[in-house]
Amino acid sequence: MTTTANLTRAEAAERSDRLTVRDYRVELDLGGARDLGRDTFGSTTTVRFTASAPATFLDFLGEVRSVVVNGREVDPAACYDGARITLDGLAAENEVTVVGEAAYSRSGEGLHRFVDPADGETYLYTQYEPADSRRVMAVFEQPDLKAPFTFAVVAPAGWRVLSNQPATGSEDRGDGTVRTAFAPTPPVSSYLTAVVAGRYHRVDGRWSGALADGGTLDVELGVLCRASLAEHLDAEEILTVTRQGLDFFHEHFGTPYPWGKYDQVFVPEYNLGAMENPGCVTFTESYVFRSAATRAQHQGRANTILHEMAHMWFGDLVTPRWWDDLWLKESFADYMGAHASVAATEFTGAWVSFANRRKAWAYTQDQLPTTHPVVADIPDLEAAKQNFDGITYAKGAAVLKQLVAYVGTDAFFAGARRYFAEHAYGSTTLPDLLAALEATSGRELGEWSRLWLQTAGTPTLRAELVAAGDRIGSLSVHQSGTDPRTGQTVVRPHRLAVGLYDLTEADGAAALTRTHRFEVELTGESAPVPGAAGLPRPALVLVNDDDLTYGKLRLDADSLATVREHLGDLREPLARSLVWAALWNATRDALLPAADYLGLVLRHGPAETDSAVLGGLTLNASTAVELYAPPALRDELRLRLGQGSFGHLRDAEPGSDAQLVWARSLARVAATTPAAAPRLRGLLSGSEAVPGLPLDPELRWSLWQALAALGAASLDELDEELARDRTADGATQHLAAVTSFPDADVKAASWDTLMTPGALSNDHVDATLTGFTQPWHRELTAPFTERYFDALRQIWERHSIEIASRLVRRLYPGHQDAVAGRAPQDDPVVLRTTAWLEENADAPAALRRLVIEARDQLLRSLRAQEAARP
Ligand SMILES: [Zn+2]
Q: CB within 8 A of 196, min separation 6: which ones?
A: 124, 125, 126, 160, 161, 162, 163, 224, 263, 265, 267, 280, 282
CA of 337 to the centre of ligand 1 (A): 9
CA of 372 to the centre of ligand 1 (A): 18
**In this structure, is residue 522 part of a structural domain?**
no
| pLDDT given at position 791 | 98
Q: How far apart are CA 120 and CA 147, in angstroms?
A: 37
99 and 186: one domain?
yes
Q: Which residues of 114-151 are buried (b: 16+ CB within 10 A; e: fewer)?
A: bbbbbeebbbbbbbbbbbbbbbbbbbbbbbbbbbbbbb
CA of 16 to the centre of ligand 1 (A): 24
- Domain endpoint, select from 150, 174, 198: 198
* DSSP characters over 417-442: HHHHHHHTTEEE-HHHHHHHHHHHH-
Per-residue pLDDT tens over the stretch 679-708: 999 999 999 989 999 999 999 999 999 999
Percent of the chain with pLDDT over 90: 97
Per-residue pLDDT tens over the stretch 172-227: 999 999 999 999 999 999 999 999 999 999 999 999 999 999 999 999 999 999 99
Q: How far apart are CA 323 and CA 378, in angstroms?
A: 6
Task: Report helix, strand or coil for 561.
Answer: helix
CA of 801 to the centre of ligand 1 (A): 19
User: pLDDT tier at 746 (50, 70, 90 boundaries)?
Assistant: very high
CA of 393 to the centre of ligand 1 (A): 8
Residue 2 has pLDDT above 60, yes or no: no
Contact 536, 502 (CB under 8 A): yes
Domain count for the chain, please give it. 2
- Is 308 noted as a catalytic residue in this protein? yes
Contact 178, 157 (CB under 8 A): yes
20 and 121: one domain?
yes
| pLDDT given at position 219 | 98
- Domain endpoint, select from 198, 230, 245: 198
CA of 165 to the centre of ligand 1 (A): 20
Q: What is the average per-residue pLDDT within 165-176?
A: 98
CA of 333 to the centre of ligand 1 (A): 6
Q: How far apart are CA 368 and CA 159, in angstroms?
A: 47
Per-residue pLDDT tens over the stretch 792-841: 999 999 999 999 999 999 999 999 999 999 999 999 999 999 999 999 99
Q: How far apart are CA 678 and CA 697, in angstroms?
A: 20
- Domain endpoint, select from 372, 406, 438: 438
Q: What is the average per-residue pLDDT within 533-542?
A: 98
CA of 303 to the centre of ligand 1 (A): 11
Q: Among 714, 726, 680, 671, which Cα is nearest to 700's?
A: 680
Residue 1 has pLDDT above 60, yes or no: no
CA of 40 to the centre of ligand 1 (A): 30
User: pLDDT tier at 360 (50, 70, 90 boundaries)?
Assistant: very high
One-letter amino acid at 476 equals: S
Q: Indicate the pairing of strand 274-275 with strand 280-284.
A: antiparallel
Q: How far apart are CA 580 and CA 574, in angstroms?
A: 10
What value does the mean pLDDT of the chain take? 97
Q: How far from 367 is each of 483, 588, 771, 808, CA to CA, in Å? A: 9, 11, 29, 20
Q: Among 385, 324, 362, 272, which Cα is nearest to 845's?
A: 385
Q: How far apart are CA 518 and CA 32, in angstroms?
A: 66
CA of 319 to the centre of ligand 1 (A): 12
CATH number at residue 151: 2.60.40.1730
209 and 261: one domain?
yes
CA of 445 to the centre of ligand 1 (A): 24
**In this structure, is residue 595 part of a structural domain?**
no
Residue 106 has pLDDT above 80, yes or no: yes
Backbone phi, then psi, for 582, in 5-degree steps? -65, -40
Q: How far apart are CA 425 and CA 427, in angstroms?
A: 7
Per-residue pLDDT tens over the stretch 248-306: 999 999 999 999 999 999 999 999 999 999 999 999 999 999 999 999 999 999 999 99
CA of 330 to the centre of ligand 1 (A): 5
CA of 530 to the centre of ligand 1 (A): 40
CA of 273 to the centre of ligand 1 (A): 9
229 and 176: one domain?
no
**In this structure, is residue 134 part of a structural domain?**
yes
**In this structure, is residue 152 part of a structural domain?**
yes
186 and 207: one domain?
no
**In this structure, is residue 84 part of a structural domain?**
yes
CA of 390 to the centre of ligand 1 (A): 12
Strands across the sheet with 274-275, in order?
Answer: 201-210, 216-225, 262-267, 280-284, 274-275
CA of 726 to the centre of ligand 1 (A): 33
CATH number at residue 325: 1.10.390.10
Q: How far apart are CA 257 and CA 153, in angstroms?
A: 26
Residue 3 has pLDDT above 80, yes or no: no
Residue 849 has pLDDT above 50, yes or no: yes
| pLDDT given at position 505 | 87
111 and 256: one domain?
no
Contact 822, 786 (CB under 8 A): no
One-letter amino acid at 360 equals: A
| pLDDT given at position 586 | 98
51 and 186: one domain?
yes
Q: How far apart are CA 613 and CA 605, in angstroms?
A: 9
Please calculate the CA angle 298-718-704 and round it to the nearest 5 degrees. 50
CA of 558 to the centre of ligand 1 (A): 41
Which one of the listed residues 141, 269, 308, 626 is annotated catalytic? 308
User: pLDDT tier at 548 (50, 70, 90 boundaries)?
Assistant: very high
Per-residue pLDDT tens over the stretch 297-334: 999 999 999 999 999 999 999 999 999 999 999 999 99
187 and 225: one domain?
no
User: pLDDT tier at 386 (50, 70, 90 boundaries)?
Assistant: confident
Q: How far apart are CA 315 and CA 851, in angstroms?
A: 31
| pTM for the predicted model, two decimal places | 0.97
| pLDDT given at position 788 | 98
**In this structure, is residue 330 part of a structural domain?**
yes
User: pLDDT tier at 857 (50, 70, 90 boundaries)?
Assistant: very high
391 and 261: one domain?
yes
161 and 220: one domain?
no
Q: What is the average per-residue pLDDT within 439-461?
A: 96
Percent of the chain with pLDDT over 70: 100
Residue 497 has pLDDT above 60, yes or no: yes
Q: What is the average per-residue pLDDT within 519-546?
A: 97
**In this structure, is residue 845 part of a structural domain?**
no
Length of the chain: 870
193 and 211: one domain?
no
Integer distance in angstroms from the first to the last C-alpha of the chain?
50
**In this structure, is residue 570 part of a structural domain?**
no
Q: How far apart are CA 29 and CA 866, in angstroms?
A: 60
The residue range of the domain holding 17 is: 1-198
161 and 231: one domain?
no
User: pLDDT tier at 739 (50, 70, 90 boundaries)?
Assistant: very high
CA of 312 to the centre of ligand 1 (A): 10
